[in-house]
Amino acid sequence: MTISMTEYFRTRKSDRKKETRYINVINKDSCTSCNSCASVCPVDCIYEVVSPIPSQSYHQIDTSRCIGCQMCYRSPNDSSEHYQLTICPWNAIDMLHNPNVKPDEHSVLEPYYRGAESDLPWHKLEEYAYQLFLDGEVFLPHSEPDLHKYLERLQELAWMYSETDNIRIVDAVVGQGEGYLQYSATEEGRDLLDVIFRNYGRIFMD
């Protein structure tokens, strides 16, 4: 079922016990808020970002609760080796190998960091940076301070934009509502993420 962002974060519970093999991210520019994905999600981790202009509403996935079941992407039971029954009619969902499970030896973000620390939570940063790359924004619940720490890393003036310039990938909090905070990428940050994720390992099953 469709649930508004306000209602979702007001009632949200942290019920995922472990990292999953896949995570899905919705491209808001392609999403029409048709509800196909939300209606089949078994853990109700998909919510609608409602716009005053109905045609500009779109859905988002809470990747910290997504269980990687594939159901919003395709129907496994109705697919075969030669045919995939995809759920989203607009091809608006990217399915990813969860970078937190069997991560690469070096994160795609690592070469672009110029900060003082070397042992960052690279793969959690990758999870949220991909959402910023695709949509330019991330919504996080008030109730999970550990998740906000990852976005704080992306706010550091320590990301390589050129040989001489460092930038922040993420602005300070740009919006908030009942139960959530909204983070947005800077213009320079999106430019940098376009470079970082240009050849990223998305999964195409169709």
Nearest to 148 by CA among 139, 157, 135, 159: 139
pLDDT of residue 9 exceeding 70, the answer is yes
Euclidean distance between the first and the last CA atom of the chain, given in angstroms as a whole number:
25
b/e per residue 102-116 (b: at least 16 CB within 10 A): eeeeebbbeebbeee
In the prediction, which pLDDT does 177 show?
87
In the prediction, which pLDDT does 176 show?
85
Cα–Cα–Cα angle for 101, 122, 110, nearest 5°? 125
What distance in Å separates the CA atoms of residue 126 and residue 139, rounded to the nearest whole number?
Answer: 15
The Cβ of residue 196 has, within 10 Å, a number of other Cβ atoms equal to 19
115-138 per-position pLDDT tens digit:
988 889 999 999 999 999 999 999
In the prediction, which pLDDT does 1 show?
64
15-33 per-position pLDDT tens digit:
888 899 999 999 999 999 9
Tell the residue number behind the tokens 């990223």, with chain if given. 200
Cα–Cα–Cα angle for 113, 119, 124, nearest 5°? 75
- In this structure, are residues 109 and 129 in contact, taking their beta carbons and an 8 Å threshold? yes
What Cα–Cα distance (Å) separates residue 106 from each residue in 97, 161, 162? Answer: 15, 19, 21
In the prediction, which pLDDT does 79 show?
63
In the prediction, which pLDDT does 104 show?
80
Claim: this prediction has a pTM higher than 0.85:
yes
What average pLDDT score do residues 162-171 get?
Answer: 95
What Cα–Cα distance (Å) separates residue 72 from each residue in 2, 40, 87, 204? Answer: 13, 6, 6, 14
In the prediction, which pLDDT does 206 show?
41
What distance in Å separates the CA atoms of residue 47 and residue 198, rounded to the nearest whole number?
Answer: 27
Tell the residue number behind the tokens 């949200």, with chain if given. 12
- Minimum mean pLDDT range among 123-137, 144-158, 163-177: 163-177
- Minimum mean pLDDT range among 70-84, 105-119, 151-165, 183-197: 70-84
72-88 per-position pLDDT tens digit:
987 766 666 776 667 89
- Minimum mean pLDDT range among 49-58, 169-178, 180-189: 169-178
